[in-house]
Amino acid sequence: MKLSDIGVRVEGGGPPGGLGGGAVAILHEVLAMLERLLRTGEEAAIDLRSLPMAPGELDALAAALGQGEVDAVFDGGGRSRVRETAVHGVWWVEHRDPDDEIIASFIEITTVPAILITDPADIRRGIDGLRRRLAQDAAGREERGGQANG
């Protein structure tokens, strides 16, 4: 008997272009978390960087979740991207360092990710800045004899 005579069967890999076992497990967890969010309001997150994933599984997971309507990118010492998936209540949140390397990647199950909620201290700074702008505008109008800008 030759080595080539031994039958080989591959299991668990899924069809080419399909979902691997890791992606399917994550989707089941997302489903349970979504049901809990709807039932109790409890938010949850999955740390994608902490999970062992086969090559291509993250891409397959992203394709399975799809793209939603919201896609926010901002810079806070490194670029962060928060995108809604096509599954309402499921958000893909990714943070990068100044060298554009991924340092954190999460699937968040929530109505809106906390990173998008304005902090009260930022609101206070916004109020102060708007007051300064209005005061400067009023002072400028007084200098021009009360004429409107334009």
The tens digit of pLDDT for each residue in 94-111 reads: 999 999 899 999 999 999
Does 58 lie in the same domain as 77? yes
Cα 92 from chain centre: 3
Does 79 lie in the same domain as 47? yes
Does 68 lie in the same domain as 126? no
Residue 122 lies in a domain: yes
Report which of 70, 63, 28, 59 is spatially closest to residue 46, judged by C-alpha positions. 28
Q: Where are the beta strands (DSSP E) in 6-148?
A: 44-47, 71-75, 79-84, 90-96, 102-109
CA gap 83, 98 in Å, rounded: 20
Which pLDDT tens digits describe the chain residue by residue (150 residues)? Answer: 554 555 544 444 444 456 788 899 999 999 999 999 999 999 999 999 999 888 889 999 999 999 999 999 998 778 999 999 999 999 999 999 999 899 999 999 999 999 999 999 999 999 999 999 999 999 988 888 766 554
Report pLDDT for 19: 75
The pTM is what? 0.75
Does 69 lie in the same domain as 43? yes
CA gap 106, 83 in Å, rounded: 11
- Taking CA atoms, 3 is separated from 10, 13, 77, 90, in Å, by 16, 23, 56, 48
Does 101 lie in the same domain as 35? yes
CA gap 11, 87 in Å, rounded: 29
Cα dihedral 127→131→132→133 (10° resolution): 100
Does 124 lie in the same domain as 93? no
CA gap 67, 90 in Å, rounded: 10
Supply the range of the domain harboring residue 138.
116-145
Q: For 144, which DSSP code?
A: T
Does 70 lie in the same domain as 122? no
Residue 55 lies in a domain: yes
Residue pointed to by tokens 């010492």: 77
Does 102 lie in the same domain as 41? yes
Does 88 lie in the same domain as 39? yes
Residue 2 lies in a domain: no
Does 92 lie in the same domain as 134? no
